[in-house]
Amino acid sequence: MFVCALVLAVGLAAVMGILYSNFDGQMRKELSKEAAYLAYGVEQQGLNYLKNIKDKSARITYIDQDGTVLFDNEADVSEMKNHSDRTEFQKAEKYGAGESSRYSDTLSEKTIYYALRLKDGTVLRVSGTQDSVLALVENLIFPLCGLLCLMLILSGIMASAISKRIVKPINELDLESPEENRIYEELSPLLSKIHRQNREIQNQLELAKQQQEEFALITENMQEGLIVIDKYTMILSANSSAWNLFHMDRVCQGESVYCLDREEEFRHAIEQVLSGEHTELVLKLNGSDIQLIANPVIRDKKTEGAVVLLVNVTEKLERESLRREFSANVSHELKTPLTSISGFAEIMQGGLVKCEDIPQFAGRIYKESQRLLQLVEDVIQISQLDEEKTSYTWEPVDVYQVCKNAFESLKEKAKRLNVHLYICGEYMKMEAVRTLLEEAVYNICDNAIKYNRNDGSVSVFLTQTAQEIQIVVKDTGVGIPKEDQDRVFERFYRVDKSHSKEIWGTGLGLSIVKHAVGALKGSVILRSEEGNGTEICMKFPKVHKE
Ligand code: ADP
């Protein structure tokens, strides 16, 4: 539209300029011709010739040699000034002919004068008036405005139609496969560029996706929780173990890490790591001990975020405390028989024991050392079970024979305590680690005899199904109080310490049973009623699966 307006203005100015100069030339020519005809007439007929001319289309002035106006067909001669100062008059006097032009006061008209010197020295002047450029512009202003408006509207409509025609195929471009678009040639370089960029973006996307998948694969298979946060504490990525540790089933990606735990120490740890310091602490989360290890992510000496690793250390800490407790218990249990032994030996060394009492003292020393031996054996046994590294030999074992062997070993003890032993069942085989099964059965039967009453009994019932073998050891003994039933499998736990003093034990028997049954992939259930005997039921799979 602007170009149109400019072209119109320049074109119009040029046309008007040319036409104006043409008209000007034309007029001058006509004035000179007219002046020549009139000069001829005046020379032939004198002043009367001029007076007889009726046509007043051009102004005719006849001037004497001294500039006095002799005749004018439009004005009163007597009122006219001397014309000797007029340019055209001076030129005519000098060269024979002369012309000049002058604008009106309003500049809207221009008068061209043509003066011709006659033979007698007088000057005949003819003048014509034409509109000035300004007047022409004034006259043309309205039609020009109309034309301009028309042009603007037309150019507006055309510009809109053309731009729509250009833009439409661009809008309909299939940017996924730009090279397949059939569109004007000028867009081909752009489409090729888009195609190249598309390929590049695709490659980068695939690479990023692959890396993300690898990252997800690694982190999702981690047992440890892994959280990546930015410097504003927003979670950028977290694996499912992390959500599980915080007991969250909702993924809070994009939320602040504080939504996981609002405890002061957690907040403090996050603040510390985001200040650029490596942080480690153990959090208490829903009864579990979670070790938090956080490292800052530093780029250009600025902390951009942090990587937080969460490890469930509940079991580790429990084991550590158990180990500490175990060592303390073992030392204490070892001390008691050793103190007795050393005491008896000291007395005997000092010669304070009569000869006839020596066997009795030696017997006590022997008994205590037997206890010591038993304790050491149990400790070794439980330590081996704890190690879990012992490679077991799995073999078909006759369960009936195992129970029979246990009774055989305990026969003397049972007889001494007046406890009757019974086995009820048939020969049956299962895949097991012989020593572990023997140990479990022996310990349970030993307890059943130890904690029995006079003239009581211990019965072993063996039953089997297609997959399982069940060993139930039932006694008629003192039973275990309800409140202790859950704890008897703990290490060194003994019911009713005063009563236990009479019946000696290490407090390790049932925990060995629990471990052994666990290693054999079986289960153990205890049913007991105080004063009414105890029943311990063990179940094992017949076939061992790795
Ligand atoms: P201990 O060496 O003292 O026998 P155990 O671990 O074998 O250690 O047993 C733990 C405790 O459980 C025993 O001190 C005893 O009080 C109780 N207990 C185990 N078996 C029986 C049972 N058959 N009848 C009654 N009490 C039992």
Distance (angstroms) between ligand 1 centre and the Cα of 392 equals 27
Nearest ligand 1 atom to alpha carbon 509: 7
Digit-coded pLDDT (tens) for 413-455: 999 999 999 999 989 999 999 999 999 999 999 999 999 999 9
Domain of residue 229, CATH code: 3.30.450.20
Nearest protein CA to atom 13 of ligand 1, as residue: 494
Which residues, at least 6 apart from 18, have a Cβ–Cβ distance to it below 8 Å?
A: none
Give the least confident one: 58-72, 79-93, 127-141, 182-196: 127-141
The yes-or-no verdict on residue 499 having pLDDT over 60 is no
Task: For residues 332 and 349, state if they share a domain.
Answer: yes
Report the separation in Å between the CA atom of 504 and the middle of ligand 1, taken as the mean of its atom positions. 10
20 with 101, same domain: the answer is yes
Mean pLDDT to the nearest integer, 500-517: 84
Ligand 1 lined by 512 (C-beta under 6 Å) = no
Q: Binning pLDDT at 50, 70 and 90, where does residue 63 land?
A: very high
Query: Which pairs from 515-522 meet CB under 8 Å and 24+ separation?
Result: 515/382, 515/385, 515/386, 516/385, 516/436, 516/437, 516/439, 516/440, 517/440, 519/385, 519/388, 519/392, 519/433, 519/436, 520/432, 520/433, 520/436, 520/437, 520/440, 521/545
- Do 32 and 90 sit in the same domain of this protein? yes
Question: What is the chain's mean pLDDT, rounded?
Answer: 89
Reported as a pLDDT band with limits 50, 70 and 90, residue 498 is: very low
Please report whether residue 345 resides in a domain: yes
Task: Report yes or no on 167 lying in a domain.
Answer: no
Please indicate, yes or no, if residue 299 is contained in any of the structural domains. Answer: yes
Atom of ligand 1 lying closest to residue 506 CA: 2
pLDDT for the residue numbered 343: 92
Q: State pTM to two decimals.
A: 0.52
Q: Is the CB of 494 under 6 A from ligand 1?
A: yes
Strand partners, 388: none
The structural domain count of the chain equals 5
Residues 307 and 197 reside in one and the same domain: no
For residue 59, the tally of other CB atoms under 10 A from its CB is 16
Range of the domain at 267: 222-312
69 is a domain residue: yes
Q: How far is the CA of 109 from the centre of ligand 1 (A)?
A: 139
Q: What is the pLDDT of residues 209-244, one digit of tens each?
A: 999 899 888 888 988 999 999 999 999 988 888 888
Residue of 510, 513, 534 to mutate, ligand 1, most atoms within 8 A of C-beta: 510
Ligand 1 pocket residue status of 533, Cβ below 6 Å:
no
The predicted pLDDT at position 405 comes to 95
Q: Which residues is 473 bridged to in the sheet?
A: 460, 536
Residue 302 shares a structural domain with residue 246 = yes
The pLDDT of residue 502 = 72
Contact 509 CB / ligand 1 (< 6 Å): yes
- CA 223 to chain CA centroid, nearest Å: 22
Q: Does the CB atom of residue 475 touch ligand 1 within 6 A?
A: yes
Does the pLDDT value for residue 172 go beyond 80? Answer: yes
Ligand 1 atom nearest to 500, measured from its CA: 14
